[in-house]
Amino acid sequence: MKNRRDFLKTAAVATAGAGATTLSAPYVQAATNKTIKWRLQTYAGPALAEHVIKPSIDAFNKVANGEMEIELYFADQLVPTGELFRAMQRGTIDAVQSDDDSIAAPVDISVFGGYFPFATRYSLDVPVLFEQYGLKEIWEEAYGEVDGVTWLSAGAWDPCHFNTVDPINKLDDLKGKRIFTFPTAGKFLSRFGVVPVTLPWEDIEVAVQTGELDGIAWSGITEDYTVGWADVTNYFLTNNISGAWCGSYFANSERWDELPEHLKTLFRLCMDSSHYYRQHWYWGGEAKLRVHGTKLKLTSIDDAEWKTVENEAEKFWEEIADRTPRTKKVVEIFKQYAADMKKAGKPYRYS
């Protein structure tokens, strides 16, 4: 909180004293051989950031060799997550790692960021959808219509499961449960009686301990252990509503455009290294902790009953498709991809 207050105070003084051009400092610094400074805020708290972004930022700062330095800030440290897009657009911060949904990106496709119900089965689905099925071009088009922010890259995180204080063995067990989750996932889960709750990320563990929350649908089991949620909940539901979280990197357009090409290339390489690390860290962690973890007892909802949730997702898809021609195009891509994977058979899809 002290860092946030000090930063906002400094930013306000700089803006008032020198106007918007003050926030274009990287260009001036580069011209005078001074280090380009960026502030990047992630959606993740400190323990999680150690895996999902910090190694790649540390590598960037090392290889940039003094030409550029990225200061990494954690969830809500400078700006509340829900205000990240506007803060980046204004130039208050320079870059963001999060999903479109959580940062309230003012684009129609933001609903597909985070956990869009049953859009993916495995983490590899996300990069394939972006690189081979056209989502990359759609995201570039959408953010190209918004001033001040450049979308850079999307990647996959972990699947979306429930970890709860009380066991979930059937759909009725979800009714009335106060669950911390993502905006779109919460809207979908409310159809099954879940009460979505929004809180600062750093408050979640305490909220479970005090009874303000009954559980969390924000991650897979790897994060539950990594961030401490496995210490305050008792059960892990093996059914999930999405096979992978879809998150992205964004930058203030002016800051991004000011970078020389070799630093842009370096940043893209570091984003790719982060995407790669998460693929094996999550994939291995999800299995290993189910088998060897000692903190959470596994529960499951029968496949036939869970099919009710999958069928409801199909209705949800159609509702989203009706919003705009572009959301319809994304949903059609999801349908085509799902059909292709099913026809491809094992190991792409088992059912």
- Taking only Cα atoms into account, the Rg of the chain, rounded to an integer number of angstroms, comes to 21
Contacts of residue 192, Cβ cutoff 8 Å, sequence gap at least 6:
171, 174, 175, 309, 312
3 state DSSP class of 182: coil
Dihedral over alpha carbons 198, 202, 208, 211 (to 10 degrees): -70
Number of Cβ within a 10 Å radius of residue 144: 12
- Can you give the pLDDT at residue 19? 41
pLDDT range class, residue 17, cuts 50, 70, 90: very low
Name the one residue in this structure whose structure tokens are 């400094």.
Answer: 10
- Can you give the pLDDT at residue 350? 85
Alpha-carbon distance of 83 to 101, in angstroms, equals: 11
pLDDT digits (tens, 9 = 90+) for 329-339: 999 999 999 99
Mean pLDDT of 309-319: 97
pLDDT range class, residue 24, cuts 50, 70, 90: very low
pLDDT range class, residue 307, cuts 50, 70, 90: very high
Q: Are strands 161-164 and 235-237 parallel, antiparallel or unpaired?
A: antiparallel
Mean pLDDT of 303-315: 96
- Strands of 68-73's sheet in order across: 68-73, 36-42, 95-98, 246-252, 149-156
pLDDT digits (tens, 9 = 90+) for 161-189: 999 999 999 999 999 999 999 999 999 99
pLDDT range class, residue 11, cuts 50, 70, 90: low
Q: Which of 181, 177, 227, 217 is nearest to 50 (CA)?
A: 227
Percent of the chain past pLDDT 70, that is, above it, reads 91
Residue 34, pLDDT above cutoff 50: yes
- Can you give the pLDDT at residue 2? 54
Q: Which of 58, 109, 98, 95 is nearest to 75 (CA)?
A: 98
pLDDT range class, residue 300, cuts 50, 70, 90: very high
Can you state the percent helix, strand and coil of the chain, rounding each to 5? 55, 15, 30
- Can you give the pLDDT at residue 285? 97
Q: Are strands 68-73 and 161-164 parallel, antiparallel or unpaired?
A: unpaired
Single-letter code of the amino acid located at 108 = D
Alpha-carbon distance of 209 to 205, in angstroms, equals: 6
3 state DSSP class of 301: coil
Mean pLDDT of 58-77: 97
Query: In this structure, are residues 242 and 309 in contact, taking their beta carbons and an 8 Å threshold?
Result: no
pLDDT range class, residue 16, cuts 50, 70, 90: very low
pTM of structure: 0.89
Query: In this structure, are residues 155 and 275 in contact, taking their beta carbons and an 8 Å threshold?
Result: yes
Alpha-carbon distance of 250 to 28, in angstroms, equals: 22
Mean pLDDT of 269-277: 98
Domains and CATH numbers, the chain: 2-157+245-285 (3.40.190.170), 161-243+292-344 (3.40.190.170)
pLDDT digits (tens, 9 = 90+) for 116-148: 999 999 999 999 999 999 999 999 999 999 999
Percent of the chain past pLDDT 90, that is, above it, reads 89
